């Protein structure tokens, strides 16, 4: 009988793993929802102990934990107990840069609502959110569900921590006197920049839903006197006259035409010798990390935006009245690049 096994069985096996990888994402969502990482913070526990605390089915939970152990989220000791591996530490709610909220936000019902429209998005050129929200945008869709918008804000805060890894070593803000963080969310990045630069004053500018969180961040950091927290619509105007404007993970939410419109608003507000600073996950083929490409697909589904190359940013700057002067990579695991521009 002829051998009908594919001549490249390893490739087939790898592809089969990738086909099933969505199960791993959902398994991470499950353990995040059950807050398993928090339960393991003080040491290893058996599946039965974890199941009792989380009111889960012990045999089924063991199988989930076993699968995630194979992917480095948990580890299993000689007694069959589970403990946190380095990846799992980021599922703790109190971990710096915690991805607990991200695991919950991108999985479960909300994640399924988006991901099942993937094929439709590719065929029509419309994001999943356009289908789900109709005439409303992402943020209006998020605000329909109080828990969803709360999770989203937590995701943005944790991403800010990861996004700014190595930022202050890569780029010196000491030349600036006033920095406007446009779309700065709860102000995690701006607060760190202000701490490092005691002569710098800041303005945190975002939609009203982020204002309370921003005020809390600045108050807790002791920066209330050096930073104003304002709300508004950056499609219409941003606070004028500053010499530095920061947009972190904002531009990737939008298509080219909308991006140019936003940057033109900043161009109208910026001081003549000011600088525009974007922090974005830049597509760099030689970087050797997959996250920027995955983030690009997420933008396709969630916002209709995209991640871009340096040449693409250069063209956007030129179209909006700026010259791209530097593109500085950081050590961030998200592939963050500091993209500086000056008014033409």
Q: What is the CATH number of the domain that holds 205?
A: 3.40.50.150
Residue 2 has what pLDDT?
A: 53
Q: What is the CATH number of the domain that holds 17?
A: 1.10.10.10
Does residue 252 have an active-site annotation? yes
Whether residue 61 is contained in a domain is answered as: yes
| Tens digits of residue pLDDT in 283-342 | 987 667 889 999 999 999 999 999 999 999 999 999 999 999 999 999 998 889 999 999
Is the pLDDT score of 39 beyond 90?
yes
pTM for the complete prediction?
Answer: 0.87
Whether residue 331 is contained in a domain is answered as: yes
Which residue has better confidence, 142 or 292? 292
Give the highest mean pLDDT range of 133-142, 206-215, 245-254: 245-254
Whether residue 127 is contained in a domain is answered as: no
pLDDT band at residue 182 under the 50/70/90 scheme:
very high
Q: How far apart (Å, rounded) are the C-alpha atoms in residues 157 and 88? A: 19
Residue 203 has what pLDDT?
A: 98
Mean pLDDT of 140-153: 85
Give the residue from 70, 94, 118 where a domain finishes. 94
Give the residue from 59, 75, 94 where a domain finishes. 94
Rama region for 208: left / alpha / beta (φ>0; ψ in -120 to 50; rest)? alpha
Whether residue 54 is contained in a domain is answered as: yes
Whether residue 222 is contained in a domain is answered as: yes
Question: How many domains would you assign to the chain?
Answer: 2
Whether residue 249 is contained in a domain is answered as: yes
Whether residue 80 is contained in a domain is answered as: yes
**Residues 6+ positions from 4 with CB-CB distance below 8 Å:** none
Query: Do residue 188 and residue 321 come from a single domain?
Result: yes
pLDDT band at residue 6 under the 50/70/90 scheme:
low
Domain of residue 233: give its range.
154-343
Encoded tokens for 247:
């947009």
Query: Do residue 300 and residue 194 come from a single domain?
Result: yes
| Tens digits of residue pLDDT in 267-297 | 999 999 999 999 999 998 766 788 999 999 9
pLDDT band at residue 266 under the 50/70/90 scheme:
very high
Whether residue 141 is contained in a domain is answered as: no
Is the pLDDT score of 163 beyond 80?
yes
Instruction: Give yes or no for a contact between 183 and 203, defined as CB atoms under 8 angstroms apart.
Output: no
Is the pLDDT score of 178 beyond 90?
yes
């Amino acid at each position: 009988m002829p051998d009908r096994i594919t001549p490249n069985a390893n490739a087939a096996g790898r592809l089969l793993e990738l086909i099933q990888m969505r199960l791993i994402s959902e398994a991470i969502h499950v353990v995040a929802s059950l807050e398993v990482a928090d339960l393991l913070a003080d040491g290893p526990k058996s599946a039965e102990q974890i199941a009792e605390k989380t009111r889960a089915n012990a045999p089924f939970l063991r199988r989930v934990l076993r699968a995630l152990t194979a992917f480095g989220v948990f580890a299993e000791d000689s007694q069959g107990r589970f403990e946190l591996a380095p990846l799992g530490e980021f599922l703790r709610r109190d971990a710096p840069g915690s991805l607990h909220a991200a695991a919950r936000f991108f999985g479960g019902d909300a994640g399924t609502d988006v991901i099942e429209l993937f094929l439709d998005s590719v065929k029509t050129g419309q994001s999943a959110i356009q289908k789900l929200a109709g005439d409303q945008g992402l943020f209006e869709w998020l605000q329909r569900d109080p828990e969803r918008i709360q999770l989203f804000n937590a995701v943005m805060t944790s991403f800010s921590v990861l996004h700014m890894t190595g930022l202050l070593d890569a780029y010196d803000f000491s030349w600036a006197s006033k920095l406007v963080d446009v779309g700065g969310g709860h102000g995690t990045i701006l607060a760190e920049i202000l701490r490092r630069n005691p002569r710098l004053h800041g303005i945190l500018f975002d939609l009203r839903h982020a204002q309370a969180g921003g005020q809390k961040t600045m108050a807790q950091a002791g920066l209330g006197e050096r930073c104003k927290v304002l709300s508004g619509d950056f499609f219409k105007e941003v606070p004028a006259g500053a010499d530095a404007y920061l947009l972190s993970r904002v531009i990737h939410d939008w298509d080219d035409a909308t991006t140019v419109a936003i940057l033109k608003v900043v161009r109208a507000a910026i001081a003549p010798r000011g600088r525009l600073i974007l922090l974005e996950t830049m597509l760099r083929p030689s970087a050797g990390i997959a996250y920027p490409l995955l983030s690009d697909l997420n933008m396709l589904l969630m916002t209709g935006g995209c991640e871009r190359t340096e040449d693409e940013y250069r063209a956007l700057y030129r179209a909006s009245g700026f010259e791209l002067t530097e593109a500085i990579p950081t050590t961030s695991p998200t592939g963050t690049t500091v993209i500086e521009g000056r008014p033409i």
